[in-house]
Amino acid sequence: VTISAHSILDTFEALGLRNTRPRRLIAQRLAELAARGEDFATDELWQELLRVDPQLGRATVFRSVDVLVEQGVLDRVPFADGTHRYRVCGGPHHHHLTCTRCHQIVELALCLPEGELSALASQTGFDIEGHAIEVFGRCPACRTAGAASS
Ligand SMILES: [Zn+2]
Ligand SMILES: [Zn+2]
Ligand SMILES: [Zn+2]
């Protein structure tokens, strides 16, 4: 996935978050991770950026990640064990398939069938604002590893 550091900074700026050195470092690093298709935990991101800027505040990194999730730039991907990581995904609305052993993330094009959500809304009287679908299991590499060790 290609996303430029510039467009991430534009997202910050549109929300009134000034273009500071810490935010430039965050934006550059996220663009690199996106290009390599890598996911990350916020603490990992902070630790990496500390090597470049030892003054970089943990709160700044956490707040920036939260903002980018709210804006749809980053996806927050939850795992079956209750942990989560972040990722820049491509394309429109989608869900994720995750490995319970190595935490590999696969983007899924599947969603609820058309009409299912509106039927649900009229059945329950809810104004549906969103949904999440979590699919998890063992990836091919972990299935092989599991078979070898047992
Ligand atoms: Zn995604
Ligand atoms: Zn796996
Ligand atoms: Zn969906």
Q: Beta-strand (E) ranges in 1-57?
A: none
For ligand 1, the distance from its centroid to the CA atom of residue 94, given in whole angstroms, is: 6
Chain center to CA of 37:
11
Chain center to CA of 138:
20
For ligand 2, the distance from its centroid to the CA atom of residue 98, given in whole angstroms, is: 8
What ligand has the least distance to the C-alpha of 130?
A: 3
Digits of tens for pLDDT over the chain (150 positions)?
889 999 999 999 999 999 899 999 999 999 999 999 999 999 999 999 999 999 999 999 999 999 999 999 999 999 999 999 999 987 788 999 999 999 999 999 989 988 999 999 999 999 999 999 999 999 999 999 987 765
What ligand has the least distance to the C-alpha of 106?
A: 1
Q: Beta-strand (E) ranges in 38-109?
A: 75-78, 84-87, 95-99, 105-108
